[in-house]
Amino acid sequence: MDQYILILALIGFGSFIICWMPKISEYTGISYAIFYVVIGFLMYRIFPDILPNPLPQQNPTLTLHLTEIVVIVSLMGAGIKIDRAFKFKAWAVPLKLATITMILCIIAATILGYYFLGLGLASAALLGAALAPTDPVLASDVQVGPPNDEAKSETRFSLTAEAGLNDGMAFPFTWLAITLGLISMGGNAEISNWFLFDVIYRIVAGVLIGYFSGKFIGYLVFDLSTRYKFLETRDGLLAISITLLVYGLTELLSAYGFISVFICAITLRHFEKHHAYHTELHSFSDQVERLLTCVLLILLGGALANSVLDSLTWEMVVFVLAFIFLVRPLSGMLTLIGSKLHAKEKLAISFFGIKGMGSVFYLAFAFGKFDFKYQDELWAITAFTILISVILHGLTATPIMKRLTGKAKKK
Residue by residue, DSSP assigns 35-90 as HHHHHHHHHHHHSTTTSPP--GGGSHHHHHHHHHHHHHHHHHHHHHH--SPP-TTT
Give the H/E segment covering residue 285.
helix 277-305
> Of 83-92, 255-264, 363-372, which gets the smallest average pLDDT?
83-92
Per-residue pLDDT tens over the stretch 123-173: 999 999 999 998 887 777 788 888 877 667 888 999 999 999 988 899 999
* Type of residue numbered 169: M
- Quick one: which of 237, 241, 208, 388 has its CA closest to 304? 388
Q: State how far the Cα of 375 lies from the Cα of 306, in Å rounded to an integer.
A: 16
- Structural domains of the chain in order of their starting residue, each with its CATH number: 3-52+60-410 (1.20.1530.20)
pTM: 0.92
pLDDT band at 405; cut points 50, 70, 90:
low
Q: State how far the Cα of 356 lies from the Cα of 346, in Å rounded to an integer.
A: 22
Percentage of residues in the chain having pLDDT higher than 70: 97
Rounded mean pLDDT, 99-114: 96
